[in-house]
Amino acid sequence: MFDMDGTLVDTEPLLHHALLAVLGAAGVPAAAIRPEELRGRAVAENLTRLRGLMRSPMTEQELYARVSGRVLDRLRSGIAPLPGAARLLRALRRAGVPCALVSSSYRAMVDAVLPSLPAAVFAVTVAGDEVRHPKPDPEAYRTAADRLGIVPGRCVVVEDSPAGLRAGRAAGCVTVSVTPTEEPVALTVRDLSALTVERLARLVGAGAAAIRPRESGAPI
């Protein structure tokens, strides 16, 4: 089960540029906009935080519409997957491993990113506006595991943020971080190029032999 932003694709620069444009026009200085403070948090929580920087009558809904509109326009032209992401997703597909995309971003953002990732990889996608309690609450990962039909203890969650890692761990999943973290995790890697199907299988105790890729001639 994969997080999206910061794990499979780097949307942070797009978000930062959009925030600079929208909040800057509302009189918020660039130094007050800190993307690192928004990473991995619920959209509603971030909107409240950002709205607090403004002195204009713009509502949180208007702020979201303006920022997301700019980001979506950029995403629709495509975004490159982060190192190792496409290779790992294709390998998991060839091996027949069911995958889920579990994001704090809203559905419109998830759907805009999906065409930039290998096709037919995710059996399940869960967006931030489709759960009652977003990360770090475990609801999103528990929902994804339930839809996959797999007990959480047999699932690996791959994340880049403390909030996401806490959500995965609270759901009962094995957690992997693609950034340095102080959270207790099963594995920390530099990026997705360090992960293989066999390595993920070992994390849940399946063993490399339990998941065998299809013949090399299979389409990818």
Taking residue 31's Cβ as centre, other Cβ atoms within 10 Å add up to 6
Nearest Cα to 41, choosing from 184, 164, 214?
Answer: 164
Tokens (6 digits) for 105: 């971003």
Out of 3, 10, 73, 146, the active site residue is 3
3 a catalytic residue: yes
Out of 5, 10, 73, 137, the active site residue is 5
Sign of CA dihedral 178, 183, 187, 190: positive
- DSSP assignment of 155-178: -EEEESSHHHHHHHHHTT-EEEES
Taking CB atoms within 8 Å and a gap of at least 24, the contacts of 45-50 are 45/134, 50/19, 50/23
Nearest Cα to 9, choosing from 79, 60, 74?
Answer: 79
Tokens (6 digits) for 2: 């994969």
CA distance 70 to 76: 10
CA distance 170 to 49: 25
Catalytic residues: 3, 5
